[in-house]
Amino acid sequence: MKNIKSKLIILLGIVLLIACTKELRDPVLDISQATPQEFTNPVSGTTYVLTEDQKDSVFATFEWSEATYNISNLPATSYVLQMDLAGNNFGGAVELAKITETTFQIKVGTMNTRLTVLGVTVGVATDVEFRLLSYATPNSDYTNLYSDPVTLTITTYEALVVEKFIYLLGDATPAGWDNTAALPMTQIDTGIFARVETLDPAGAWFKFISVLGFWAPQWGTDATGTAESGPLVYRPDEATTDPPAMPCPAVLGDYYIEADTVNLEYRTFLTSGELYLVGAATTVGWDNAAGLPFTEIEPHIFEITTTLIDGGMKFLEVLGQWAPQWGTNDTGTGDGGPLIYRPDETVIDPAEVPSPGSGTFKIRVDLTTITYTIVAQ
């Protein structure tokens, strides 16, 4: 009996030792032990005078140290470079980049346009602040870290005004090359336009124009442009040579198409062509495998009539996955608002769509206008 007891005591000690060892090997993330990234270049107090003849030159190379956490098994850290007028406490910050590297270059012309959109007065030396947000988990702000800001004094030049409207066309689109029937895109941010539309590789190409019935202004790309992304090349008038068109993706499908006329970039993402409702306001809660299916009543327009309660909700493209998904921003209400797209897990979650309250409602999601509406039934 004593031998059995001794063996049990030894076995219990081994179990406790293993548990303690495992605890030592698997530390818990403690954000108070994290070290935020910090700029190494440029330095505060640097002065820049931008000129149009240097628009294709590098404005600055932003460089920074890595953010570090007290555990090593986190996903790759992402960095968001933000810019705002000095003294605004980044209340109106715009994003210049969202990358996993620790260096980013921006051209003079792009910086000049971004500052113009920000509200900087042309020809006046203005203090502008830059900071870095980092995160390791996009679904939570717990890992968010902010750098100390750097302040640069920048004088801008007068340049082309950011367009208020653009249209999609091309033989890969339903509009073909008829510039009087080009498809309107919705402005989702200053100078940034989007639309979900069918792209057919049988046609092969697409472009953007600014005025129906005219071939200028227009945006194409260059030899580096691909079916997924690339630079936008601007054609301001008929006297300027046409840039090449963007190549169509190889798979026929419905694509989220985004044209950024500020940073002169475009990108496309293949959507699933389906939509599912989840959220605390719904009958299925946040179970992304049990989302309620929408019905596509017209191309890229979805509806569902369902019971809601107080809470938030989102629209998923694939059952069991949190991306791609659609949410909204701080202007979205229980009656309707803009949609914000999260194409993959590397992108921070958009805000939840708020419920209008308890009752039966029809939710309409229009991916051609990137908006949603909710109407009581």
Q: Cα–Cα distance between 39 and 61 in angstroms, integer? A: 11
* Mean pLDDT across 29-52: 94
At residue 16, what are phi and psi to the nearest 5 degrees? -65, -40
Q: What token pair was written down for 133? A: 């947000």
The CATH code that applies to domain 167-270 is: 2.60.40.3620
Q: Predicted confidence band at 18 (pLDDT cuts at 50, 70, 90)?
A: low
* Mean pLDDT across 274-301: 97
At residue 315, what are phi and psi to the nearest 5 degrees? -120, 120
Looking at residue 3, its pLDDT comes to: 54
DSSP character string of 325-353:
EEEB-TT--SSEEE-EEE-STTSPPPBPE
Same fold yes or no, 31-155 and 167-270: yes
Q: Is the pLDDT of residue 47 over 90?
A: yes
Looking at residue 25, its pLDDT comes to: 54
Burial of residue 256, with CB atoms counted within 10 A of its CB: 0-12 exposed, 13-18 middle, 19 or more buried: buried
Looking at residue 143, its pLDDT comes to: 86
Average pLDDT, the chain: 89
Local structure of residue 94 (DSSP, 8 states): E
To which H or E segment does residue 22 belong? helix 2-25
31-155 CATH, one of 1.10.260.40, 2.40.50.1070, 2.60.40.10, 3.40.640.10: 2.60.40.10
Kindly provide the b/e burial profile for residues 28-53, where b requires at least 16 CB atoms within 10 angstroms of the residue's own CB.
Answer: eeeeeebebbebeebeeeeebebeee
At residue 133, what are phi and psi to the nearest 5 degrees? -100, 130
Domains of the chain, by residue range, sit at 31-155, 167-270, 276-376
Q: Is the pLDDT of residue 8 over 50?
A: no
* Mean pLDDT across 86-102: 88
Q: Which fold has domain 276-376?
A: Immunoglobulin-like (2.60.40)
Q: Is the pLDDT of residue 7 over 80?
A: no
What lies within 8 Å, CB to CB, of 13 at 6+ separation is: none
* Mean pLDDT across 203-214: 94
pLDDT tens column, 60-81: 999 999 999 988 888 888 899 9
Q: Predicted confidence band at 190 (pLDDT cuts at 50, 70, 90)?
A: confident
Q: Predicted confidence band at 110 (pLDDT cuts at 50, 70, 90)?
A: confident
